[in-house]
Amino acid sequence: MRAFEVVLAWVESRILGGELTVGDQLPAERELARQLDVSRAAVREAVRTLQAQGVLRSSVGAGGAGGTTVTSVPARALVRLLRLHVALANFPVDDVIEARIALERLSIRLACTHARASDLAAMRQAIAVMAQPGVDKARFNDADTALHVAIAEAAGNRLAADLTIAIRESMKVPLLVAFSYVADWDQLVARLSADHAELYAAIDEGDADRAETLVETHIRSAWARLQAALPAGGRHTGS
Amino acid sequence: MRAFEVVLAWVESRILGGELTVGDQLPAERELARQLDVSRAAVREAVRTLQAQGVLRSSVGAGGAGGTTVTSVPARALVRLLRLHVALANFPVDDVIEARIALERLSIRLACTHARASDLAAMRQAIAVMAQPGVDKARFNDADTALHVAIAEAAGNRLAADLTIAIRESMKVPLLVAFSYVADWDQLVARLSADHAELYAAIDEGDADRAETLVETHIRSAWARLQAALPAGGRHTGS
DNA sequence: CCGGCCGTTTGGTCAGACCATTTGCGTCGC
DNA sequence: GCGACGCAAATGGTCTGACCAAACGGCCGG
């Protein structure tokens, strides 16, 4: 077993065994290296691995604030992971769309019963940005992401929310590329904004069945329109 | 920007820009360090980060086989990530179950139309193992995982499959723990095996609607039985 | 022409050093 | 007595230089 894997196994087994939980501190790098009889470089490589998974967080300095602690921030890690694999075309965009629909149906269903006032406000905010006349494509893209993130956050299901966020974020660049090929941008904005208004109404009324249907139709039809606008040849960001 | 982040940004931007795709080789560590004017240690930390995301693969030795190449093996990376966060109780098991149902409904629906003979064989194999009288709990757990993985693989949707695999794998240990509390193990095996037979029949016949309903009922009722068997207090592996 | 040997390349690891940041305590000045 | 200042220690971040093991590829001898 390679040296950094020894460290990895040490930390992972303690996390899986419950001996290390969120907030706990790891021994200092030098100390851990001494304990496991590996070099400090090996410890650092293992720590980087776990940081990439959103499991550890390091900060410099002495005392309680300094050191490496266990956290649990999977959203960022998932976004980075998915974004890269989507770019590598391992996950064809069509497949991503299908998975996204499955997750967002769940998210929006839960959001219908769990949404709080602040969640609804975030949705309205995003919808308002997208409804501005002559809205910029990049701004629209960001706001649409924000809307779907807000819905996912409102669901109260962390895994579904984080996966939804990761998927939507990973599609941001490919979608922006697709936007650039759209001929009648204002018409697309109008159609999508109408969808968003309906979506919001369904959530606000707590009509889970209608919301589920709407979000599937919304995602599917939006993607169909974008696909129709795309040039024939596949791109590295597409499929 | 920290040194290893410089390397990270260099690699990521090239992947997102399509200049690096699966199969391509990175410059050698020493070379890349020289190019980016950082130490080799910084390069290695960045490489470890990307390896944790299933984006890079390193092997020693000269010539074509050696060096660091771009790959795309997200399944393992997702499994490790989810397993840790489930253990950290950031993802409550009940939330995981809901997300799993959403994804497996999609997977099994696709499997009904895409399953090949080899996929069906893998399912039968797993089901046969679980149907053995007096089957071991660990073996049953592995075979059940194999069954759901086989269904996911049969779907032909890589993202849905990888997410399904990651979720089922991340639940392996918590499920095994839950198994240990089950009073009438043989009865549970009988019930679950009956479910599996029905599931297989639906896939074999290509009845997507029935399969979707069955898999949801299967996962939900199995989890309900296990929850009923669990001791009252939450564990670090459950919630 | 073939097979084994050896140098080169590459990732894996280690040791030791220095830096920047942060904390916490002790000292100095008022 | 008390507060502000400052220094020592701890910690992650980085770099240098070295050596090891594996694997390829060409050279050389049979």
Tens of pLDDT, residues B116-140: 999 999 999 999 999 999 999 999 9
Does at least one atom of strand D sit less than 7 Å from the CB of A67? Answer: yes
Q: Strand pairing partners for A59?
A: A67
Question: pLDDT value at position A90?
Answer: 86
Q: Do A55 and B84 touch (CB under 8 A)?
A: yes
Q: How far is it, in rounded angstroms, from Cα B190 to Cα B135?
A: 11
Polymer length of chain B: 239
Residue at the smallest CA–C1' distance to nucleotide C15 = A39
Question: pLDDT value at position A239?
Answer: 39
Rounded mean pLDDT, B4-31? 97
Return the H-helix or E-strand segment holding B232: none
The tens digit of pLDDT for each residue in A137-177 reads: 999 999 999 999 999 999 999 999 999 999 999 999 999 99
- Residue pair B101/B219 in contact (Cβ under 8 Å)? The answer is yes
Distance A198 CA to C3 C1' (A): 76
Q: Do A85 and B102 touch (CB under 8 A)?
A: no
Q: Strand pairing partners for A70?
A: A56
The residues near A160 (Cβ < 8 Å, ≥ 6 apart) are A103, A106, A107, A110, A152, B95, B98, B99, B102
Rounded to a whole number, what is the largest CA-CA distance in chain B? 64
Question: pLDDT value at position A238?
Answer: 39
Predicted confidence (pLDDT) at residue B40 exceeds the cutoff of 90: yes
> Can you list the domains of chain A with their CATH numbers?
3-70 (1.10.10.10), 75-229 (1.20.120.530)
The tens digit of pLDDT for each residue in B155-185 reads: 999 999 999 999 999 999 999 999 999 999 9
Q: CB within 7 A of strand C: which residues qualify? A: A 2-5, 37-42, 45, 59-66; B 26, 28-31, 40-41, 44, 47, 58-62, 66-68
Q: Which of A22, A84, A89 sits opposite B53 (nearest CB)?
A: A84
- Residue pair A157/A106 in contact (Cβ under 8 Å)? The answer is yes
Distance B173 CA to C2 C1' (A): 55
Q: How far is it, in rounded angstroms, from Cα A28 to Cα A43?
A: 10
Instruction: Give the dihedral sign, CA B21/B24/B30/B36.
Output: negative
Average pLDDT, chain A: 94
Q: How far is CA B186 from the centre of its chain?
A: 27
The tens digit of pLDDT for each residue in A78-130 reads: 999 999 999 998 898 899 999 999 999 999 999 999 999 999 999 999 999 99
Q: Which of B77, B99, B160 sits opposite A98 (nearest CB)?
A: B160
Q: How far is it, in rounded angstroms, from Cα B111 to Cα B199?
A: 11
Best CA proximity match to A45, nearest among A79, A97, A18, A5:
A5
Distance A72 CA to C26 C1' (A): 38
Q: How far is it, in rounded angstroms, from Cα B164 to Cα B153?
A: 9
Q: How many CB pairs under 8 A join A and B?
A: 160
Look up residue B71 and give its DSSP letter: -
Instruction: Note whether ipTM > 0.95 here.
Output: no
The residues near B99 (Cβ < 8 Å, ≥ 6 apart) are A103, A106, A157, A159, A160, A163, B167
For tokens 């995602």, name the residue: A219
